[in-house]
Structure 1
Amino acid sequence: MSLSPFHLAIPVYDLVAARQFYNDVFGLEEGRSSDHWVDFNFFGHQLVIHEHPKTASQKAAHTNPVDGHDVPVPHFGVILEWKQWQALAERLKSLGTKFVIEPYVRFEGQVGEQATMFLFDPCGNALEFKAFKDMNELFRKD
């Protein structure tokens, strides 16, 4: 499957803390930046953090129930290869990351079996990282 990189710009109310988080926690390479925004190579995609006053979803996350967990909405993230996801989960655990939803396997033994984890950046943006046991089931319904 060949994918085009996406571009996502998100609000951060503390540019310094967010920049440090995406640099140190994920080890992301920085691209262009200014006093008000920073580009990152987010696993091959372009993530831009923009300085912005705190949003309603950053003050208090809304959640929807999925597989017995309260999934924060909105959220964004990336789908990794299974081994990449496992390595990231271990890295985050070793850094003492506070998870919203701890790393686990969702829909085990079912169509769409996937590993997932949720966390917040320092500005309250929810992130999800997932990996599918079988990438051919990414959009499969049954």
Structure 2
Amino acid sequence: MRSTHDAFHVAVPTHNLDEAVRFYVFGLGAKLARRYDDRVTFDFFGDQLVCHLDESAVPDGEPAAYPRHFGVTFARAEDFDRLLRLVEHRKLSVLSGPDTRFEGTAEQHRTIFLADPSNNVLEFKHYEDPRLQY
């Protein structure tokens, strides 16, 4: 069973480590945990994100949210709002949103999609009903 001391881990490709650091640290406010010649590890909202250098991962075409993306489902609306303000303040490129999905249903939630410099798509969201966070 996962405890509060455990971290979820996800790894994604990046074509440029410097651009990944700029986006995740100076854009989204993630903390730089470790940097090597072939990868960068971030404290990404309390979990571990690793961007592995893959020079063939140069973006070609437009990023698409489906079928592959990752991100954070915020438990508190205030945290989602804070992220929206950060995205606006730092003028991060938005793939889509902010939107309200499934309006008027139990699954209603606010969402925003971003793409990092290697077209890895991130979704941040908040459900009004806290039972749907997972």
TM-score normalised by structure 2 residue count: 0.86
Larger strand fraction of residues:
1
Q: Percent identity, please.
A: 32
Q: Give 1:131 deviation, angstroms.
A: 0.9
Superposition CA RMSD, Å: 2.2
Conserved 8 A contact 1:73-1:126: no
Conserved 8 A contact 2:80-2:125: yes
Where relative contact order (Cα < 8 A, 6+ residues apart) is larger, the structure is 2
Q: Give the match for residue 109 of structure 1.
A: 104
Q: Give the match for residue 45 of structure 1.
A: 47
**Structure 2 SS opposite 1:59:** coil
Q: How does 1:14-33 map to 2 (within 5 A)?
A: 14-33=16-35
For structure 2, the 5+ residue unaligned runs are: none
Conserved 8 A contact 2:73-2:133: no
Q: For this pair of structures, how many residues does the alignment match?
A: 131
Q: Report the Cα distance in structure 2 between the residues aligned to 1:119 and 1:29, rounded to whole angstroms.
A: 18
Spell out structure 1 runs of 4+ moving beyond 6 A: none
Conserved 8 A contact 2:63-2:120: no
TM-score normalised by structure 1 residue count: 0.81
- State the one-letter code of the partner of 1:129: F
For structure 1, the 5+ residue unaligned runs are: 64-70
**Structure 2 SS opposite 1:73:** coil
